[in-house]
Structure 1
């Protein structure tokens, strides 16, 4: 460094000229005139393109750096927009190298106003976003995999829960039967522990099943009329014994202006309240648990109700309030060890409230109790006739003497348990271990009611029910499904097969007894009253099928009538100038010749990725000639390749259709 340089730069800083900054910047720089002619370009961009400066300056226009679709988009949209607003930020173009390969680029352009002798010009920065595109693709793939994993988990939980419920039915059934026999004190305690443990296991399985259905988005809100007062009274009776065992006061208060008859989803409301009251009792050692319902607001036919559950229990530390709504989590390890449970109840309740467009709120402090609350809008029903009383009396059971029931199940243990309950109720019964055997028995003998397992080998319950209905018997039996499946998932199938009702396994003896009494009293009900649940499922199924058929028909009609392409956009862009129109059409035709070769290469390689790249690169060309059918066929071809075990026939047909379109 000279003395003069040292004087001008006393600290010895590294000096970099503006030219060096421009030429060696980490992004590409290019400047062009209003007609697109490039008059300056930096070394970074030249190295990406593999051109020399002499091959570009005043010889190429900025659109020459783009693929054909990008050239058309630049002329018709990109450049007119720059002229309108003076800049454009972050637009993607495929940048073409000298060897005709390309890389994805992100372009920003700014207009430089004319000054003195300098004309109006434009300056652009170009970033190579190859890595970004790669990461985006990986993120999309990861997102897709995460969604698939979530669905797989939900399906696994549903399957395993169903499988567990089947042997659990035997455990609970035997436990109930054992508890009714003459036992000494030790044996009574063993039976009590057996029942208590199996009920806890059933609760866990039900929670897993509920969570899996919610995550798989199979749970929807229903609308039916229910009596709120009856519901909370039933909840109070349900938890009365547990509260008394712990010497806890269980109180229920309904505000004076709280409406009684409502329209909504009583099952999900009951499930939420059951979880909250059960938790409150579990975590309260002394004091009280209260359920309070208030009417916050009334608008015409709707009321906003607030439900509050208060307890004087152990409370929750403030730093743990959010954690309690997470799956499989509780406030602390010690609480989990002392009180047990899965930590799913609050998670499920919160998700059910989200379906109601509501959320759970909690106020609590350690050692001072907790308050959980939520608000739900319900439609108020006026002049509602109460449902007929289904309570069971001794008189109801007299009809059992003249009734005969057929139990159909491939599991001998399940048959044995059901037989024991029917024998206890003095109800005559026989059994069959398959659908075929059941049909033969029904042909030879009259049965008033059939308890039918849905999951049997060779001929399942649905097929068996259909064949029983096809017999056209003078006095057809009432058919009740016995299954570990949740009723909400199979309602439409039950109705379609001609079954009247469903009792979930493991069943509570009183639930089965109530169902038997109801249908043996009212055999006409075998024709099945259309519940709102069944109506919704059936209508939805029919609607979906109708829409699919209609869409297919409409699509086929459109394909038959609509031309493969339309150059009206080119005509408009060329402003009726035949030279420009000829240029647009020829460049597009050249592009599609390449696309056809790339398409056939992708088919030969059986590559979903190559098809996806082709769809991406041909988007602009397809847009300008309006070849929408062609794009749809490429998407169909991609899906066909993606399917494992694809047969050559369907793919060959798509190839032929594609080539005709191209």
Structure 2
């Protein structure tokens, strides 16, 4: 045993040492690559800096010379008069003096006329009168009249030189250009100075023959004498091989190449600065030496520490573990968990021995406890064991009781003896797949008892593994769930029946909603014409009898519309599609509004409306403002309709309390005929008018049903008190907010002032307003035409289809468009998208309003989602149409 541990540690040590060595080699290679990149980048930066510095030095000198000559008055006059003798006489001493100052002796001077002709050269090539405008630098300075400096072709032999050109202006008139002074110098000094930094400088120029033949020029070394010793003499490359500043590796040199570009950004020559590879590698080695020394020291330290560790392992671990192993072997063979391992070490091995002795105590107690646990499991759960092939090796008494088989009939057989024919084979395939993958399978299984009865078990099947993690059998624990499964099946059958009934009810409800929606649209279309034309007739010049008849027509039409609205409202509540917006609502403005709305109706029957002090109504409650107004108005309207002639109605608000929570109570008491006690419970049944069906009192019998539903949706309730022959009292209760919040957040007088301000309108403008109406119903077309005819300065265009409206709108350029939804062909929702995309309508700021008999909530929402400013419902409200047009005029 000690030899095995020692060998393992030795192998581990050698392996670790090898890995460290490989890591050091890999690190050195990586750092070598890194240092090469670093030295290469330093080389590039250094060369770029040196080349720029040397070129700038030469540019500064030639520019200084050019400026000096251009500002020398004698030369300025000589250039102006093209006096070559004066120029020749003056230039020589100046040339010598400049060479003396700068230590740069090889300057070339060229004097040029203002129109670009050669006037005088300092080098021996007759060129007087030669046209120089072909030269790009000459051409630039003639065009701009500004000094320029660059590297270009010039001087003796027309080779690349450092050139500076300075404009010369007249002595008398400093704005008059008389010529130019060009000063140039060759590159000999670069070839001389750059090697002092450890580099060699060369210039590569284009071969004109290759340029003319292919356009992809070949560049080779400049043939001037001071380049003849360049190590790059045999190097050539094509224009498309080097397009930007780069470093290339050729033969024994690294070469930094920087292009010289013309005005079209095309290279005309290349600077080349070379570094011998031997010098490059020497620089890299200088940086690598220290790293390699560090890595060597590191490797030596790791090797030494590893050797010491192996020695200590052999001394401190192997011998004690051998003793412990012999004691453990004895315990395993005897299964005597009470014996202890003896030791005398006060270290980790000694601590391990103590833990193992504690484990022996725990194991002894666990073995003792497991015998009791086995007995408890056998009495309550169904237990079995099998071999790796599924043959039963053990079953408990509970298994025999529920299956009806004896242990002799079960042991040695597979579980298929209790397999129910209704169980799909896929379940057992899944069981075998799971447990063979050494995982636990859990699920419900249907079994067949010996007497043919069915029983259900909730099973957990898990593999039994040996210490090598091999399957040696399977263990099953099952719980009898027969009673629970039978109950579940009964519930599932009941749920199926309930679901069928629910589907039938939903289909009926959907059919009802579709019918109401369709009927609403069909009824509203003719009502639109009836109410609209009656409203127009009211403002016409009619006799008193005619006006009375017209009002009767409008009143009857409005009553029919109210009936339709009530039926639709009831349908929404019944379908559960009505949504409320619960918020803080001030009571006083709503009571004032419904009181004003009901005053004229009450006066017709001589009924007196009495209301308590408005200050007592100064409450703030939680409700939907629109629905609260609807509920209160309905109660007040019923009190008027079912009252006596010359009767009274009393309105009161107060605070009530229920279950320690405060509520606002709105009470309407009338002096009508009252309601028999036996009929009070039928008040809120839909369409039940309690015997008033044949009377002259109009109604549908669903108003109170709607009121009750709305109040309950606002978390309140409604109460009724009535005495036959005396009268009735209806009260609603809604959640109340504390009065102290009311004083801080609500001022009834401010609210009333705001209501009045919102109703005021400005005077109409005289400019014509263009209204475009898309409608296919002739009666509605005629109604809109009559509405517009009552107004001044309004033009109307009518389109019978959406397609015609889309075509006519950009020509008519309307300020406002009313669009019907149901149209032949394209509907109004779809047409709106095309209308809003038209640029002319965008510039006009055209307003778009839906005008439709579709009034269901989802239909209105669909129209608003399409992008209409507002959704108007038919019958047309003439006042609303006029107000919208007037708003555009203002």
Alignment TM-score, normalising by the size of structure 1: 0.56
Deviation at 1:183, TM superposition (A): 4.7
Q: How does 1:251-650 map to 2 (within 5 A)?
A: 251-253=610-612, 256-259=615-618, 264-286=623-645, 287-296=647-656, 304-332=663-691, 334=692, 336-377=694-735, 380=742, 382=745, 386=751, 387=754, 389=756, 396-399=762-765, 402-426=768-792, 427-473=794-840, 474-486=843-855, 489=858, 492-521=861-890
Structure 1 counterpart SS, 2:615:
coil
Deviation at 1:499, TM superposition (A): 2.2
Measured on the aligned residues, the alpha-carbon RMSD in Å equals: 4.3
Q: 1:101 to 1:449 in 2, by over 3 A?
A: farther
Structure 1 counterpart SS, 2:514:
helix
**Bigger shift: residues 215-224 or 177-186:** 177-186
Q: How does 1:24-423 map to 2 (within 5 A)?
A: 56=404, 137-183=496-542, 187-223=546-582, 227-253=586-612, 256-259=615-618, 264-286=623-645, 287-296=647-656, 304-332=663-691, 334=692, 336-377=694-735, 380=742, 382=745, 386=751, 387=754, 389=756, 396-399=762-765, 402-423=768-789
Between the aligned partners of 1:99 and 1:436, the Cα distance in structure 2 is: 80
Deviation at 1:292, TM superposition (A): 2.1
Per-residue Cα deviation, 1:115-158 (whole angstroms, up to 9, x for no partner): xxxxxxx9998998888865653343123312332233233223
Deviation at 1:260, TM superposition (A): 6.0
Q: 1:99 to 1:221 in 2, by over 3 A?
A: farther
Structure 2 counterpart SS, 1:202:
helix
Deviation at 1:421, TM superposition (A): 1.9
Deviation at 1:295, TM superposition (A): 4.2
Q: 1:396 to 1:138 in 2, by over 3 A?
A: same
Deviation at 1:328, TM superposition (A): 1.1
**Bigger shift: residues 396-405 or 438-447:** 396-405
Alignment check: 8 A CA contact 1:173 1:417 kept: yes
Between the aligned partners of 2:533 and 2:497, the Cα distance in structure 1 is: 53
Alignment check: 8 A CA contact 1:469 1:476 kept: no
Alignment check: 8 A CA contact 2:622 2:735 kept: no
Bigger RCO (CA 8 Å, 6+ sep): 1
Between the aligned partners of 2:498 and 2:848, the Cα distance in structure 1 is: 51
Alignment check: 8 A CA contact 1:264 1:378 kept: no
Structure 1 counterpart SS, 2:704:
helix
Q: How many residues align?
A: 433
Structure 1 counterpart SS, 2:553:
helix
**Bigger shift: residues 382-391 or 496-505:** 382-391
Q: 1:143 to 1:390 in 2, by over 3 A?
A: same
Please tell me whether Structure 1 or Structure 2 has the larger radius of gyration of its CA atoms: 2
Per-residue Cα deviation, 1:572-596 (whole angstroms, up to 9, x for no partner): xxxxxxxxxxxxxxxxxxxxxxxxx
Between the aligned partners of 2:867 and 2:402, the Cα distance in structure 1 is: 83
Deviation at 1:161, TM superposition (A): 1.7
Deviation at 1:305, TM superposition (A): 2.0
Alignment check: 8 A CA contact 2:517 2:854 kept: no
Between the aligned partners of 2:591 and 2:765, the Cα distance in structure 1 is: 33
Alignment check: 8 A CA contact 1:323 1:329 kept: yes
Q: 1:412 to 1:396 in 2, by over 3 A?
A: farther
Between the aligned partners of 1:97 and 1:137, the Cα distance in structure 2 is: 30
Between the aligned partners of 1:442 and 1:494, the Cα distance in structure 2 is: 20
Gaps of 5+ in 2: 1-377, 384-400, 428-443, 458-479
Deviation at 1:410, TM superposition (A): 1.7
Per-residue Cα deviation, 1:81-109 (whole angstroms, up to 9, x for no partner): xxxxxxxxxxx99896999997999xxxx
Deviation at 1:389, TM superposition (A): 4.6
Alignment check: 8 A CA contact 1:401 1:428 kept: no
Alignment check: 8 A CA contact 1:480 1:500 kept: yes
Between the aligned partners of 2:446 and 2:651, the Cα distance in structure 1 is: 64
Between the aligned partners of 1:324 and 1:97, the Cα distance in structure 2 is: 63
